[in-house]
Amino acid sequence: MSSIPKLIVLVLLASLTISCSYGPVSGPRRFNPATEPTLVPTSEAVAAPIYTIQQGTVTENLTFPARVSPRFETIAIAPVTGTILELAVSEGDFVAEGDRLAFYDFSSQEEEISQLNGAIADKQAILAKAQADIAADTGRAQIELDIATLEYEQALQNAGDNPTEAAQKQLDLLVRKIDLAKADLIRFDEEIDPDGLIAEEIALLREQISVLEEQMVVRSIFSPADGMILGLNIARSGRISAGHTVAVIGQMGGLDDLSVSTVLRSDALERLANDMPVTMVFASRPDEAIPGKIVRLPYPYNSGGNQLGFDPDDLAIRLLPDNPAILDELPLGERVEVSLQLDEKANALWLPPEAIREFSDRMFVVVKNGEREQRIDVQVGLKGDGRVEVLGSLEAGQQVVGR
């Protein structure tokens, strides 16, 4: 073996010996909690709640807000459509018939009228310019006709009784010139707006202005009667339509004219009746449940029952405590929470609302049978106090998987 290969083998053996004797350069990895990333634990699946079908009494109640108010009320109606600039009264204020309740803000109508007048002026300017152009063209055509006529008369006089061929040609040319001038005069003597389109547009713009001006005739809303402002249905800078109720005014004839009143939707009124018992809780007496009854329902729900001389056009439901003298001690407008029982059913199967599911107008429950789950369509009946009556192929004691 030559000396060079021997040298290479010796170098490799020396490198291997050094590596084995010193070990890894960086040393073993040590755990340091401060520098380790925090592991996010896997979220546990939340088990759906399980409910048991119960059998018992389901009571459906209705609760609604009302207020202490005079037996006779009247409303102030917006006479025209517009925006309210300023309110002149507040709830609880006493007003006399004819007192101003609110001011209209007609700045938008005034601006619109200004724009419409500008559009009318533009169209009138178009007509005026067309009139001026026609007048100028007609004037020029008349002058040309007059000149041609004078030239013809002069040429005719010069030609005499026996005009030469050249003179006759001249006369013929002048006749042609006269005819052209007459044709121009007839053409320029046309109507400016023959189809009346511009005039029709101007008439429509003026009609819009008239409508806006009619809205602006009444610049205030006035009280129709003496009484107290029980409620305002408008706000400053609010838009209001003609015929809209602006304010409810209670007409006081004495303390015996007080009642508890509110306005309910038709679907609620359909389930009520005169003399139906209620419970009232007044804002100033939150710990007292005062019994009372419905004494008047609005038309057409007020068939029979105790009307007690209420205004037949009144849209409110009227109630009285069993002891009406209580109202004498309360301020007008006092807030009242009224509750009453609409219906009750004993031995009904019921579930809490969270156990009933709905999809595409289909109501169903998921009944748990061991490890299996079964969807069963249901109908709901009475609802109240966290109970919903369920109607379907169900039995008391079955377990239902909630949402």
Give per-residue pLDDT as tens, 295-332. 988 888 876 544 555 555 667 888 999 999 899 888 88
Encoded tokens for 72: 């006779």
- Cβ neighbours, 10 Å, residue 117: 13
Residue 378 pLDDT class (50, 70, 90 cuts): very high
Distance, CA of 63 to CA of 279 (rounded, Å): 9
Output the CA torsion 185→191→192→198 (10° steps): -170
Contact residues for 327 (Cβ-Cβ < 8 A; gap 6+): 68, 255, 258, 259, 260, 320, 321
For residue 32, what pLDDT is reported? 61
For residue 227, what pLDDT is reported? 85
Sort 208 into a burial class: Cβ within 10 Å, 0-12 / 13-18 / 19+. middle
Which residue in the block uniquely carries the two structure tokens 């202005």? 209
Q: What is the CATH number of the domain that holds 352?
A: 2.40.420.20
Distance, CA of 159 to CA of 161 (rounded, Å): 7
pTM exceeding the 0.75 threshold for the entire prediction: no
Within a domain: 324 = no
Domain that holds residue 356: 344-401
For residue 161, what pLDDT is reported? 82
Residue 22 in this model has a pLDDT that exceeds 50:
no
**Residue 215 backbone class (left: φ over 0; alpha: ψ -120 to 50; beta: rest):** alpha
Question: Considering its fold, how many domains does the chain have in total?
Answer: 2
Computed over every residue of the chain, the mean pLDDT equals: 83
Last residue of a domain, one of 214, 229, 262: 214
For residue 18, what pLDDT is reported? 47
Within a domain: 313 = no
Distance, CA of 178 to CA of 207 (rounded, Å): 47
Give pLDDT tens digits for 90-121.
887 889 999 999 988 888 888 899 999 999 99
**Are 53 and 389 a contacting pair, CB within 8 Å?**
no
Within a domain: 231 = no
Distance, CA of 271 to CA of 141 (rounded, Å): 87
Give pLDDT tens digits for 244-301.
888 888 876 544 578 898 888 888 999 999 999 999 999 999 999 999 999 988 888 8
Give pLDDT tens digits for 35-84.
655 555 555 657 789 999 999 999 999 999 998 888 777 889 898 888 88
Last residue of a domain, one of 180, 214, 248: 214
Last residue of a domain, one of 214, 236, 252: 214
From 382, 348, 381, 376, select the one nearest 362 (Cα to Cα): 376
Within a domain: 335 = no
Within a domain: 144 = yes
**Are 305 and 297 a contacting pair, CB within 8 Å?**
yes
For residue 310, what pLDDT is reported? 55
Give pLDDT tens digits for 186-215.
777 666 676 678 888 999 999 999 988 887
Within a domain: 89 = no
